């Protein structure tokens, strides 16, 4: 899933983005409120992590503007201020959750998972398709009872395809949800990762799960 992190402290932004990417999220970073609004206007995100004290437009203003324009993407606000009135202001602005700095990174991950579970599309903690089982919390995968070792990006691609079971997904949709803004749309990286997944997930197993729809994209299904 793809996250926008709006944080003007570059050290914190680097730390949080690195941790999220290591947990299979694609992450874009904005260093001020105006940049965050622009990113949201051109990209689809599964969740937003907004610092309150952003330059140009603070997190409260960004949140207000998004909600007023109809954006329903889950939002976690980050702040160094832990006064009750600040937390109330963030929630009243339309935020779904609030985390005070300094925070434990594992708590941020848990809060993101909780928000995503409450979204319009319920995201189960386990996905089972044929003899494939995916533990989305632990990011572990089994096929026919055998655990499959995947890289972070391989896992992210597998989970996205599995969540879209039965639907044809094109390269643009895959890039939008699995990679971040640095992705080169002219590269063959998606094809390379699909080939790697097939080698690990499908070779030697029945039925095959990853299918190509020539000219359209890929479909993940057990039929």
CATH of residue 210's domain is 1.10.10.10
Structure tokens at 185: 């749309």
88 and 10 in a single domain? The answer is: yes
Mean pLDDT over residues 86-105, rounded?
84
Query: What 3-state DSSP class applies to 170?
Result: coil
Domain of residue 50 covers 2-117
> In what side-by-side order are the strands of the sheet with 26-30?
26-30, 2-6, 47-51, 75-79, 97-100
Let me know whether 9 and 62 are in one domain. Answer: yes
pLDDT digits (tens, 9 = 90+) for 175-209: 888 887 677 766 888 889 999 999 998 988 889 99
Residue 132 and residue 199 share a domain:
yes
The C-alpha torsion from 100 through 106 and 109 to 115, rounded to 10°, is: -60
> Does an H or E element contain 110, and which?
helix 105-117
The tens digit of pLDDT for each residue in 40-84 reads 998 889 899 999 989 999 999 999 999 988 888 999 998 876 667
Contact 32, 54 (CB under 8 A): yes
Q: Is 178 left (phi over 0), alpha (psi -120 to 50) or beta?
A: alpha
Strands (E), the chain: 2-6, 26-30, 47-51, 75-79, 97-100, 126-129, 132-135, 140-143, 146-148, 168-169, 210-213, 217-220
pTM higher than 0.75: no
Please give the structure tokens belonging to residue 3.
């996250």
Nearest to 24 by CA among 201, 209, 116, 156: 156
User: Which pLDDT value is given to residue 34?
Assistant: 95
Last residue of a domain, one of 78, 95, 117: 117
Domain end among 52, 86, 117 = 117
Listed residues 64, 94, 117: the one ending a domain: 117
Q: How far apart are CA 181 and CA 187, in angstroms?
A: 13
The Cα 160–Cα 114 span in angstroms is 18
Cis peptide before 192 (omega within 30 of 0): no
* Mean pLDDT, residues 75-104 taken together: 82
Contacts of 11 (CB under 8 A, 6+ apart): none
């Amino acid at each position: 899933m793809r996250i926008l992190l709006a944080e003007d402290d570059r050290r914190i932004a680097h730390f949080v983005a690195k941790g999220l990417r290591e947990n299979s999220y694609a992450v874009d970073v904005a260093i001020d409120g105006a940049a965050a609004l622009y990113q949201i206007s051109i990209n689809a995100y599964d969740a937003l992590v907004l610092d309150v004290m952003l330059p140009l437009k603070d997190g409260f203003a960004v949140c207000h503007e998004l909600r007023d324009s109809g954006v329903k993407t889950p939002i976690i606000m980050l702040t160094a201020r832990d006064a009750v009135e600040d937390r109330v202001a963030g929630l009243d602005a339309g935020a779904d959750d609030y985390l005070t700095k300094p925070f434990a990174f594992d708590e941020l991950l848990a809060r993101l998972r909780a928000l995503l579970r409450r979204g319009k599309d319920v995201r189960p903690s386990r996905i089972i398709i044929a003899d494939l089982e995916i533990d989305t919390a632990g990011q572990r995968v089994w096929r026919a009872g055998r655990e499959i070792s995947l890289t972070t990006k391989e896992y992210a691609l597998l989970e996205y395809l599995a969540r879209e079971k039965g639907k044809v997904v094109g390269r643009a949709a895959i890039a939008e949800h699995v990679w971040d803004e640095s992705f080169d749309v002219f590269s063959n990286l998606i094809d390379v990762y699909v080939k790697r997944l097939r080698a690990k997930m499908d070779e030697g197993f029945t039925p095959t799960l990853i299918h190509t729809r020539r000219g359209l994209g890929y479909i993940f299904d057990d039929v």
